Amino acid sequence: MERERFAEAVMGSLRAHGVTDAEYLAEEFSVRHSGDEVLYLGNVFAECAAAEEDEREEMIAHFVGAMTTTDAPPEDWASARPLLRPVLRPVTYGLDDTDVAKAMLSRPAFPFVNEAVVVDLPRTRAYVTADMTRNWGVEPETIFAAARENIAAIARPGSPEELEIVRFVDDGDSYFGSWLLVPGWLASYGGGAHRPVAFIPDDHTLLVIPDDPELLERIFEMVEEQYREAPRQISPQGYTVDEFGTVVPLDQVEAHPSALRARGGLAVTEYAIQTRFLEDKFERDLDLLPLSDVAPAFVASVLFQLFDGVPATVTIWGEGVEYLLPEADYVHFVRNDADDEIEVVCTVPFDAVVEIMGLVPLPGLNPSRFEAREWPDEATLALLAARGVSPDE
């Protein structure tokens, strides 16, 4: 289905819902209505692309109904508390809307994945914001705890005997991916011959499998493709339980090549989203306010490279350029040689760079970035080179 035809279908559904002033903005692929209300169509268009016509009509109607509903979160804590649910979102979720990014209540759950809280309303979900927290008169920790308690009452524990491949597909109301946040839930699939590994490639899928090496390899490939094509991505990584029963990324307990590749892929994806946003913001406004008051600088990217056959992330610090460096596994220090050719002076683990150069993360930016304003002098370069490593050719 073409974008224009899809937009026409959305406009028709809006009219059916009583909205008569809708305007299609082709350049933004969005629809403006009721003054300043805007429906961004990119995600729902991607979700509808492979659907049959009848299913697509139903999905559009559901989307428009949710986006135009008058349902509002309760104003008092007692009424809101039982409606709270935790949700997992990529760390860059809402970055293109700085008001949402600053207002939405969230905290780190896993690397590059945050935990937010929504109010589960009849036709939509409303993200809990800092303003709601103040109006309810409760602390953020109380809100997160209540949301987790509510999801724990819904989550169905498993057992080692049934752990082959367990797949949960969310219809929008089940919050399956959030079950990973319930203490002991993933561990309930442990105790057998294999450790349980869970995947949440998108907002609708939770997959639990045993850590059989051959099966893991196939599932990682499948999940990577699903993650790459998903309109609402979460993570390509596998998650398991450590010795204390805590849910952690698989690469933290096992140096599985596919887990390391997924770890790097998630970092590259999230930093790429952030890089595009920061570049556009600098170009448009010459600042990053209200996220950060940092002065303009080159926004470095994260790249993928092998070190001793192991997938890792790298970034580049070049002489004569001011950078906002992403947090990677390694930093390539590069400069022009006497023939004006680019040479790699040294490649250094990121932790060593932070230690030697005294870098600190910038407040307000997530994922983390570090100011790198001055090229190291020769003495400092020698210290860095002494900690250097060599990537694969």
Write down the number of H helices and E strands in the chain.
11, 19
With a cut of 70, which residues of the chain have pLDDT below it?
A: 1, 35, 66-67, 69-70, 97-102, 160, 162, 172, 393
Cβ-contact 31, 24 below 8 angstroms? yes
Residues 133, 45 share a domain: no
Q: pTM here?
A: 0.85
Residues 96, 43 share a domain: no
Residues 270, 358 share a domain: yes
The last residue of one of the domains, among 233, 254, 275, is 254
Residues 82, 15 share a domain: no
**What is the token pair recorded at 195?**
């450790």
How far is residue 283 from each of residues 74, 201, 367, measured CA to CA in Å? 40, 32, 20
The pLDDT of residue 69: 64
Q: Which residues contact 221 (CB under 8 A, 6 or more apart)?
A: 258
Residues 281, 337 share a domain: yes
Per-residue exposure over 94-124, b if at least 16 CB sit within 10 Å of its own CB, e if not: bbeeeeebeebbbeebbbbbbbbbbbbeeeb
Q: How far is CA 46 from the centre of its chain?
A: 18
Cβ-contact 287, 324 below 8 angstroms? no
Residues 362, 271 share a domain: yes
Say if residue 384 is exposed, middle or buried (CB neighbours under 10 Å; 0-12, 13-18, 19+). Answer: buried
Q: Is residue 301 part of a domain?
A: yes
Identify the DSSP state of 58: H
**What is the token pair recorded at 38?**
């805007």
Identify the three-state secondary structure at position 283: helix
φ, ψ for residue 325, nearest 5 deg: -85, 130
Q: Is residue 393 part of a domain?
A: no
Each residue's pLDDT tens digit, 122-154: 878 889 998 899 999 999 999 999 999 999 999
The pLDDT of residue 365: 93
The last residue of one of the domains, among 152, 174, 189, is 152
Integer Cα distance of 215 and 211 in angstroms = 7
Q: Is residue 35 part of a domain?
A: yes
The pLDDT of residue 84: 96
Residues 93, 182 share a domain: no
Question: Can you give the residue range of the structural domain that contains 109?
Answer: 77-152
Q: Is residue 391 part of a domain?
A: no
Each residue's pLDDT tens digit, 200-220: 999 999 999 999 888 999 999
Residues 112, 46 share a domain: no
Residues 274, 377 share a domain: yes
The pLDDT of residue 13: 76
CA angle 204, 17, 132 (to 5 degrees): 60
Say if residue 392 is exposed, middle or buried (CB neighbours under 10 Å; 0-12, 13-18, 19+). Answer: exposed
User: Phi/psi class of residue 358: alpha, beta or left (left: φ > 0; alpha: ψ in -120 to 50)?
Assistant: left
Residues 193, 113 share a domain: no
Q: Is residue 367 part of a domain?
A: yes
Q: Is residue 43 part of a domain?
A: yes
Structural domains counted in the chain: 4
Residues 104, 148 share a domain: yes
Q: Which of 263, 239, 383, 370 is nearest to 311 (CA)?
A: 263
Q: Is residue 16 part of a domain?
A: yes
Residues 374, 279 share a domain: yes
The pLDDT of residue 42: 77
Q: How far is CA 105 from the centre of its chain?
A: 15
Q: Is residue 308 part of a domain?
A: yes
Cβ-contact 273, 281 below 8 angstroms? no
Cβ-contact 331, 301 below 8 angstroms? no
